[in-house]
Amino acid sequence: MATSSSPLRVGLIGYGLAGSVFHAPLISATPDLELAAVVTGNPERQAQVRREHPGAQVLDDVEQLWTAGLDLVVVASPNRTHVPQATAALEAGLAVVVDKPLAATAADGQALAALAEQRGLVLSVFQNRRWDGDFLTVAELVRSGRLGAVNRFESRFERWRPELKGGWRELGDPAEAGGLLYDLGSHLVDQALTLFGPATAVYAELDCRRPGAQSDDDAFVALRHANGTRSHLWMSAVAGSLGPRFRVLGSESAYVVDGLDGQEAALRDGGTPADPDWGVVPPAEYGLLGAGEDTVRHPTLPGAYQEYYAGVAAAVRGQAPVPVRASDAVAALAVLEAARTSATEQRVVEL
């Protein structure tokens, strides 16, 4: 395990998209973290780890992590494994980061949170989209009062992927927590709750649009927050024309921005937060702030995914609060469960 002067040793479970594109690069880019071990049973991915992170030990069994002298375990495996693997790590006395969603149910998420609290260990959920540049900009506009009272918050993750790609995200078994409601909705709901606080009512529409789809690939969720704001959230794999990423309507002004934060694409292309232009948005892609015909381009704050793991390291050392609390993830899961109930029973669910 790390000393006070050496980086925290991290073990990563899973080296698929989440592990290889998001977690491993961001862990490696964090000065106070060392990617010490990666668990994957896939020979091709094992070779990939050795190429991309030659200093990391490659393991084929999760059980090997508990005696590897680690300080933190990151669970980036398929959703159905999140709870058992996080539970085992906590019981081994290790701090844990779990990729979203934390669990398939709010009850399972709450049990994990309770175990972490009982053991006095850090448990956090990888909600990297809180550090999207466009979301940071929306948060600053809301916090500063430049929009006035926000009446409606519209947020979209829409894509045009008419053909199924395969994989666990498209499976219909509830234990897999597949479908866009849990995949993309985990981000959208978390952002809405972060901005406007608890939801008191949920309405949702979930559909399987693509031939052969077993889980939802087109969804809409409406939230009524306790503060009076209404959030309208869209997620789709079959949007032939994309709506704005955010449209925030306030009593004094509005803000609209298109496109997606570029950090994911940069990570896929091999970029890192050490790049000089990391997270920077060109002026031509700024959103519009104003009302009626009186609008101006408003600078988008730089995206900052690197701040998540820097916050985790500080939390593990007892120097700062956990950057994304497990209780936040449980609240989002309660909303996602209510959304599924709403869509199934075609009614508004009160929370």
What was the pLDDT predicted at 167? 75
Output the six-digit token pair for 161: 């992927």
- Residue 148 three-state SS: coil
d(CA 58, CA 83): 22
Give the strand order in the sheet containing 72-75: 57-59, 33-39, 8-13, 72-75, 95-99, 123-126
- Residue 39 three-state SS: strand
Mean pLDDT value of segment 40-67: 97
Mean pLDDT value of segment 275-303: 97
pLDDT band at 175 (very low <50, low <70, confident <90, very high): confident
Mean pLDDT value of segment 34-43: 97
201-260 pLDDT per residue, tens: 999 999 999 999 999 999 999 999 999 999 999 999 999 999 999 999 999 999 999 999
What was the pLDDT predicted at 4? 73
Between vectors from CA 256 to CA 337 and to CA 216, what angle results, nearest 5°?
Answer: 30
Mean pLDDT value of segment 174-186: 90
Mean pLDDT value of segment 129-155: 98
Mean pLDDT value of segment 39-58: 97
DSSP 176-235: GT-HHHHHTHHHHHHHHHHHH--EEEEEEEEE--STT--S-SEEEEEEEETTS-EEEEEE
> Has residue 108 got a pLDDT over 80?
yes
Mean pLDDT value of segment 87-94: 98
pLDDT band at 168 (very low <50, low <70, confident <90, very high): low
For the chain, give the mean pLDDT: 96
Nearest Cα neighbor of 188 from 133, 130, 131 is 130
What was the pLDDT predicted at 176? 84
Mean pLDDT value of segment 174-189: 92
Tokens 């009626």 locate to 292
Which amino acid, 267? L
> Has residue 111 got a pLDDT over 80?
yes
d(CA 181, CA 160): 16
What is the bridge-based pairing of β-strands 246-250 and 254-257? antiparallel
- Which domains does the chain show, CATH number per domain? 8-127+308-322 (3.40.50.720), 129-304+334-350 (3.30.360.10)
253-282 pLDDT per residue, tens: 999 999 999 999 999 999 999 999 999 999
Nearest Cα neighbor of 200 from 230, 173, 177, 176 is 230
d(CA 307, CA 281): 17
What was the pLDDT predicted at 2? 72
Mean pLDDT value of segment 40-50: 97
Mean pLDDT value of segment 56-66: 97
What was the pLDDT predicted at 282? 97
What was the pLDDT predicted at 232? 99
d(CA 252, CA 316): 41
Between vectors from CA 185 to CA 192 and to CA 254, what angle results, nearest 5°?
Answer: 35
Q: Residue 36: enclosing H or E segment and its boundaries?
A: strand 33-39
